[in-house]
Structure 1
Amino acid sequence: QQCADYREKVLKDNLKDERKRVALTRMGSISSEQAVDGGDPTKKRRVERTRKMAEAKERSSTPVIPTDMQAVLKRCENLEKEVRSLKLNLSFMNRKDSEQTKQIEDLQKQNEDMAEEKERLIEEIERMASDSTA
């Protein structure tokens, strides 16, 4: 869960950086833009250089996730996947266990019924044997 929270924070930061970058793409005033469009080469170079410097500054200030943090995030993702897998496996095993418990109970009931039937048959055989000797 902490990995997901951290990942979400990193993504939000990157989104903010992207918004800043878009805002910086158009540096200069409206009149500067018109001068650039009008073909003033000096103004065009100045606006372009200002834009590139702003982009470079933005890129250098964008925090890069350190390698060890990337490894930790990757490990967290793998552990989260493993936990999900184990939970699914556990629920499957619990389902199997309850099915087998039910089968055992059914077999025990059948065994008791058969034992009672055996007793009844033995009594009937004994009664028939005593009737034929009498």
Structure 2
Amino acid sequence: MHTDDLGKLVLRATLAILILFHGVSKILSGPGYIVGLLSHAGLPPALAYLVYVGEIVAPLLILFGVWSRIGALIVVVNMLVAFGLVHSKQLMMINDTGGWQLELQGFYLFVAVAVLLLGAGRFSVGGKNGFLN
């Protein structure tokens, strides 16, 4: 029995569900924090609304396996922006328990890279492992 497609489903669901929690939080609290970060960095505040694409739309694409590679690419970009705007000072830091300070963010980034490379597998709305799925 081949379990590759089941593994892809578990990987996709884990990434999507965990990032969706962040998206729901942004819906409830609004983009004000992100607007402030972007303004402070000299970037247009309107870009803050892209966080909804990265934390709501992209995870849903990944979860259902519809354009999951595009969704994963969006999450990768979203995480790289988060690293740059919020976490740059923590890149080389270790936390109190000896782990990387950014292990959660790193997990999101590298799992998104894995989904980007692997695709959705057959347990997806598309049911194929085409280029976009």
TM over 0.5: no
Higher relative contact order (CA 8 A, sep 6+): 2
TM-score (norm 1): 0.29
Determine which structure has more spread, i.e. the larger CA radius of gyration.
Answer: 1
